[in-house]
Amino acid sequence: MAALSSGPAPFSLSRGAKISFALLAVYFLWAAAQLEFTAERFIVGLDNGARFLDRMFPPAIHDWDSLTRGLTESLQIAVLASILGILLALPIGLASARNLMPTWASWPARTIIALCRSFHPVIVAILFVKAVGFGALAGILALTVASVGFVGKLFAEAIEEISAKQVEAVRATGASFASIVIFGVLPQVFSRFVGFATYQLDSNLRNSTMVGIVGAGGIGGTLFSAFQRFDYDFVCAILIAIIAIIMIGELLANQVRAIFIDNLSFGELLRRRFSGFRGLTTERAAND
C-alpha cells in the first residue's frame, strides 16, 4: 500500500498563525496590566455601577421644557445635517470614483473625503463651536462633515464595483458623459446609496445627541448639565427619551428604504407593517 501523504492536517493553522495568536495573547495581558485593567478594579467598578444605577431609578423629568427643546433640536440637527451631507456626498463621491474620473478629479475628492473621515464628530464639533459659536449651527456643520465622509466613501466604493458592461452599452449609443452617469452608473448604485443615506441618518441621530456635550446644540447639553448637577434620575429620563427617538428614527429609515428601494406603494407599506406585527410572512401570502 502506498504511504499516506504526510502533509498538514486539513483545517489546521500554520506555525506562523499559532505563534501570532500566542504573541497576541501575551500582548493583551501585558497591555491590560499596563492600563491597570485588573479583575479587582472590575469588581469594585461593578459595585459602583450598581449604586449609580440605583440613583438613576425611578427616572424623573425635572425640566420638560429643556428636554423637549433639546430633543427637537437634536432631531433638526440630524435631519439638516443628513440632507446637506447626502447632497454634498453625491458629487464628491462621484468625483472620487477612480473608474469614472481622471486622476486630477478623483485625487482631490478622495482627499476631501479622507479628511472628513479622520476625526470623530465630537472633535469636529469642538472646532466648529470655536469657529461659529455655540449652538445648533456648529452641530449641523460638524455632522455634515461626518456625513460627507461616510456616505461619500461608501458611494465611491459602490461606484467602483459597478458592472462596466452596462456602462459600455450606454457609451456605445453616443450618450454624453453626464447621460452615461445618469443612465448607466446611477441605476446600478441607487439602492445602495439609499441604504447608506438612511444609515447615515440613523448615525446622525445618534451623533446629534452627543455634540451637545461640547456646546453644539441638542439634547447632549441637557444631558451633560443634568449629569453635572448629579440629577441622575433626570439623566435616566433623558437616556430613555434618546432610546425612543433612535428607535423611531430606525423605523422611519426602514420605511424610506422600502419606498425607494422596493418601490412599495404607501398602501403596501402599511399592509406589510401590520402583517409584520401579526407575525405573518407577507411575501408568501402575497404570492399565493
Task: Return residues touching another protein (CB under 8 A).
Answer: 163, 165-166, 168-180, 182-184, 187-188, 190-191
Q: Quick one: cell of 262?
A: 422596493
Which DSSP letter does residue 102 get?
-
Cβ proximity to another protein, 250 vs 268, nearer residue:
268
Per-residue burial over 137-161, b = 16 or more CB atoms within 10 Å of its CB, e = otherwise: bbbbbbbbbbbbbbbbbbbbebbee
CB of 83 within 8 A of CB of 204?
no
What is the rounded distance in angstroms from the CA atom of residue 249 to the CA atom of residue 246?
5
Cβ proximity to another protein, 3 vs 178, nearer residue:
178
Tell me the one-letter amino acid at 53: L
What is the rounded distance in angstroms from the CA atom of residue 285 to the CA atom of residue 288?
5
Residue carrying the nine cell digits 450606454: 170
- Give kind and range of the element (H or E) at residue 12: none
Cβ proximity to another protein, 167 vs 211, nearer residue:
167
Q: Quick one: cell of 49?
A: 455601577
Q: At its nearest, how many Å lie between another protein and the CB of residue 73?
A: 36
Q: At its nearest, how many Å lie between another protein and the CB of residue 229?
A: 54
Cβ proximity to another protein, 72 vs 179, nearer residue:
179
Q: At its nearest, how many Å lie between another protein and the CB of residue 213?
A: 42
Q: At its nearest, how many Å lie between another protein and the CB of residue 101?
A: 16
CB of 72 within 8 A of CB of 131?
no
Q: At its nearest, how many Å lie between another protein and the CB of residue 41?
A: 55
Cβ proximity to another protein, 118 vs 173, nearer residue:
173
Cβ proximity to another protein, 114 vs 168, nearer residue:
168
Residue carrying the nine cell digits 461619500: 152
CB of 110 within 8 A of CB of 89?
no
Q: At its nearest, how many Å lie between another protein and the CB of residue 169?
A: 4
